Structure 1
Amino acid sequence: MKYRQLTKEQFESLHEEFARFLASQKIDKKEWDAIKKDKPNVAEEEMNVFSDVVWDDVLNKTEYLEHFSEKTVNLFKCYQEEFSRIVIKVDKDINLLEQDGFEWLLKNPNDKSIEFFNGSKKYLKERNVEIFDLIEKGSTIAKGELYEYFNRLLS
Structure 2
Amino acid sequence: MKYRQLTKEQFESLHEEFAQFLASQSIDVKEWKQIKEEKPHVAEEEMNVFSDVVWDDVLTKVNYLEHFSSKTINLFKCDKEKVHRIVINIYTNTDLLTKEGYEWLLKNPQDKAVEYLKGAKKYDLERNVELFDLIEKGSNISKGQLFEYFQKILS
Shared fold by TM > 0.5? yes
Q: Once the 2 structures are TM-superposed, how far is the Cα of residue 75 of structure 1 from its aligned partner?
A: 0.1
Letter in 2 for 1:26: S
Asked if 1:88 corresponds to 2:88, the answer is yes
Q: Which string of whole-angstrom CA distances, capped at 9 and with x for unpartnered residues, describes residues 26-79 of structure 1?
A: 000000000000000000000000000000000000000000000000000000
Letter in 2 for 1:135: I
Q: Once the 2 structures are TM-superposed, how far is the Cα of residue 141 of structure 1 from its aligned partner?
A: 0.4
1:26 corresponds to which residue? 26
- Segments of structure 1 that go 5 or more residues without pairing to the other structure are none
Q: How does 1:92-111 map to 2 (within 5 A)?
A: 92-111=92-111
Partner of 2:17: helix, strand, or coil? helix
**How many angstroms apart in 1 are the aligned matches of 2:99 and 2:51?**
34
**How many angstroms apart in 2 are the aligned matches of 1:99 and 1:32?**
47
Partner of 2:102: helix, strand, or coil? helix
1:136 corresponds to which residue? 136
Q: Once the 2 structures are TM-superposed, how far is the Cα of residue 5 of structure 1 from its aligned partner?
A: 0.1
Q: How does 1:3-152 map to 2 (within 5 A)?
A: 3-152=3-152
User: Taking structure 1 as the reference length, what is the TM-score of the superposition?
Assistant: 0.99
The CA RMSD measured in Å over matched residues stands at 0.3
- Segments of structure 2 that go 5 or more residues without pairing to the other structure are none
**How many angstroms apart in 2 are the aligned matches of 1:141 and 1:58?**
10
Partner of 2:118: helix, strand, or coil? strand
User: Taking structure 2 as the reference length, what is the TM-score of the superposition?
Assistant: 0.99
- May I ask how many residue pairs the two structures share in their alignment? 155
Partner of 2:31: helix, strand, or coil? helix
Q: Once the 2 structures are TM-superposed, how far is the Cα of residue 89 of structure 1 from its aligned partner?
A: 0.2
